[in-house]
Structure 1
Amino acid sequence: MALAATKEAKTEGQAFPEVAAELKAALRSELDATNAVILDHLGSRVPLIPEVAKHLIGAGGKRLRPLITLAAAEIAGAGGENARYLAAAVELIHAATLLHDDVVDDSDLRRGFKTANVVFGNKESVLVGDFLFARAFELMVKTGQLPVLDLLSRASCTISEGEVLQLETQGNIDATEEMHLDVIRAKTAMLFEAAARAGAGSLGASPHAEKLGQFAENFGIAYQLVDDALDYGHGAQDLGKTIGDDFRERKMTMPVILAYRAARDDSERAYWRDAFANGSDDFDRAKALIDRDDIGAKALDHARGYAAQSAEALDGLPDHPLKDILRELALASAERPF
């Protein structure tokens, strides 16, 4: 049993960082072992590769995906070495996508630190991302679980499809909510879902994989909807983000879709159309319009719906202290402050 804390989980009313910290504390020994696996698989005879990888991975992060993998394994009674290998693989896949994302988005800040592409260069970041993908697949193979290898392979393909889909919707002010949700499902939710299913199936097929996968998928959607809204609200600096990045990159996210729909006259509609067709530095007006129509609250309503579905998906799973923490994590994901 890997739990470092088996107290009766009573996290109602806690903020998201507190619940995430409780999950991390409960899985501390397993997470430490997973981090050791990750570091062990960053080695290369080319010194620049671990240097770039450690720049990103060493910057921290919540480790939500590997934590969900480990928690799902514990709840399904499948904890152990395979679960740690898969949790490490999931984190390496996530790290690889971040390296690629920052190049595509021309980002210069992540988690409050300069991005790897700024420090080392775009080519280096892309190639090290490829290296991390390869290391992740090495870890999957070590488990000897072909269904899990298939699951995480398909998730990696879907993430790439999500990146391309996001590029296709970039600057398209006529993008719909469903189009944006398709991007979120592919880019974000799919890896969360795969992380949970992989953990549950780390020792073979599990009857609990379906519910844990539903929990993680809906959690991922809620989490990303709030993250998108934070880009137009207060508090993004605390997450290491620069407010307005999505606006400047002309990404179609829920706040913009809702704000364009709420436009009161042709002048406002023309502003949004021009800003996303041609780019704009007038973020202050975008934020003023979003604040005026309380778009942040409306975006949160969308997130709360998915958070509730995430929590409900845990019903019927075996009683376990981690299940209680995951339920609160889901509900708290849609309550992060602006």
Structure 2
Amino acid sequence: MKPSVPVVRRGSALASQLGLSDRILATSADRSLAKSIDAGLDRVEEGLLREVRFADAIADVTTRYLLNAGGKRVRPMLTLLTAHLGDGVTDEVITAAQAIEITHLASLYHDDVMDDADKRRGVPSAQTVWGNSVAILAGDLLFARASQLMAGLGEGAIRLQADTFERLVLGQLHETVGPNPEDDPVEHYINVLADKTGSLIAAAAQAGIIFSNAPSAFERPIVEFGERIGVAFQLIDDVIDLSQQPEETGKVPGTDLHAGVVTLPLLRLRELALTDAGAADLLARLQEHVLGTPLPAADGDPALRAAAVAQSAALVDELREHAVTASTLAEAHSWARNAVAALAPLPDGSVKKALTRFADTIVERSS
């Protein structure tokens, strides 16, 4: 089966097309930096198209499926940006950026299976097209290809890839199993985000330092920045999951909740429900009709699905408008501010300014 998917438009200013470069690198003083990153992203994109290819027909079409569906290429952009603290966009930096983006791509296949997600990047998720087993194996193939790219960069790159992959898996495991009785649920959740999202964003930022031969003293601040902005990124995703605009997010509102995935607004609602009757009532209705309750299949009874979607949408609306969602937004902004604070040891200049704007863009996004 070869479904039709939209192919992201590519050109000489890919970052601008994706709506990031203009916001992050807009001043005239930073123009050369923006030009270098745009050129580097073109090279990354060309490399992704080349590397995500397999001689086997089914492997080829499945592994390129989500690549062709688009993506903002946030992680490669961060690698290219931090590389300007050193020698700039070297061949090694390009290879590392490609490997990290392929790792991210692989994780999406697995995440969608774990979450039973219907859509990803505005198209049907891979497992809805080919089934869970094929989607998992496509992700495995992509992880293998990313590891091959990193192996070409030496032992340090292999270690970076292995450590990051370990954290990705541990984060997913801890999310799946949940906190122990003695654990604080919110603290446990933040640690999951740091592993599942922060680790890969931190690796992207660190790779730019390592493979551009930038001073090693920059690694720790950059890793801390990446970890913290990764948590902020995911907290914003928790809010986006409640969005009324699925045409922008590419997801049905409440997708994570229907899949039984705990998010920070839900955790905060559970805390509040211990002392607030209104919160307890909303929580009870969410648990009965949304949390861990998949919507009826799209090819089933239309009336039944329409009723379930309407009920779900109303409850998701209530959660989105509740104070716990505003609290989640505030926490995301706090993590972003702390990420920027970690950059204090870096030299002032275009890269530091751009990283600060990068943090702002992360918490202001709507999809």
Match of 2:3 in 1: none
Partner of 1:295: 324
Tell me, in whole angstroms, the C-alpha distance in 2 between the residues paired with 1:115 and 1:276: 20
Q: Which residue of 2 aligns with 1:126?
A: 136
1:310 partner SS: helix
SS of the residue 2:89 aligns to = coil
Q: Residues 51-90 of structure 1 correspond to what in structure 2 (within 5 A)?
A: 51-90=61-100
Query: What is the alpha-carbon distance in structure 1 between the residues aligned to residue 358 and residue 152 of structure 2?
Result: 30
SS at match of 1:207: helix
Match of 1:50 among 60, 64, 70: 60
- Separation in 1, partners of 2:149, 2:225: 24
**Residues 6-43 of structure 1: CA distance to partner in whole angstroms, max 9, x if unpaired?**
xxxxxxxxx97853686976511111111222222223
Does residue 221 of the first structure (1) align with residue 231 of the second (2)? yes
Deviations 1:242-297 (A, max 9, x none): 11111111211111011222332254454455568764765345435424532221
Deviation at 1:148, TM superposition (A): 2.5
Task: Evaluate the alpha carbon distance shift between residue 99 and residue 323 of structure 1 in structure 2; reply closer, same or farther with a 3 A threshold.
Answer: same
User: Which residue, out of 270, 275, 289, partners 1:260?
Assistant: 270
1:262 and 1:293 in contact (8 A); partners too: no
In the other structure, the counterpart of 2:302 is none
After TM superposition, the structure 1 stretch with the greater mean CA deviation from structure 2, 260-269 or 239-248, is 260-269
Query: Within the alignment, does 1:314 sit opposite 2:343 as a pair?
Result: yes
Q: Does 1:197 align with 2:206?
A: yes
Could you tell me which residue of structure 2 aligns to residue 151 of structure 1? 160
Compute the displacement of 1:119 (Å): 2.2
Cα 1:243–1:24, aligned 2, differ >3 Å: closer, same or farther? farther
Q: Deviations over 1:155-182 (max 9, x none)?
A: 1111011111111129x9x972111111
* CA distance in 1 between partners of 2:158 and 2:81 (Å): 19
* Distance of 1:261 and 1:242 partners within structure 2: 26
Counterpart-to-counterpart distance in 1, 2:123 and 2:283: 36
Q: Give aligned-pair identity as a percent.
A: 28
The aligned counterpart of 1:11 is: none
Pair 206,329 (structure 1): closer, same or farther in 2 beyond 3 Å: same
Query: Offset at 1:114?
Result: 1.4
Q: Aligned partners of 2:25, 2:323: CA distance in 1, in Å?
A: 30
Mapped partners of 1:237, 1:26: distance in 2: 32
Structure 1 length normalisation: TM-score?
0.86
> Out of 167, 188, 201, which is 2:197 matched to?
188
Whether the 8 Å contact between 2:63 and 2:141 is mirrored in structure 1 is: no
CA distance in 2, matches of 1:20, 1:94: 22
- Alignment-mate amino acid for residue 192 of structure 2: V
Q: 1:226 to 1:24 in 2, by over 3 A?
A: farther
Q: In the alignment, residue 352 of structure 2 is paired with which amino acid?
A: K
| Distance of aligned partners of 1:110 and 1:19 in 2 relative to their CA distance in 1, 3 Å threshold | same
Q: Which runs of 5+ in 1 are unaligned?
A: 6-14
- Most deviating of 53-62 and 323-332: 323-332
The aligned counterpart of 1:251 is 261
The residue that corresponds to 2:186 in the other structure is: 177
In structure 2, relative to structure 1, the CA distance for the partners of 1:331 and 1:107 (3 Å cut) is same
Cα pair distance change 1:167/1:31, threshold 3 Å: same
Alignment of 1:90-109 (within 5 A): 90-109=100-119
Distance 1:227 1:168 in 2: 21
CA displacement at 1:329 relative to structure 2: 1.5
Equivalent residue letter for 1:137: S
User: How many aligned residue pairs are there?
Assistant: 323
TM-aligned CA deviation for residue 211 of structure 1: 1.2
Provide the rounded CA distance (Å) in 1 between the counterparts of 2:37 and 2:73: 11
The structure, 1 or 2, with the larger RCO (C-alpha pairs under 8 Å, 6+ apart) is 1
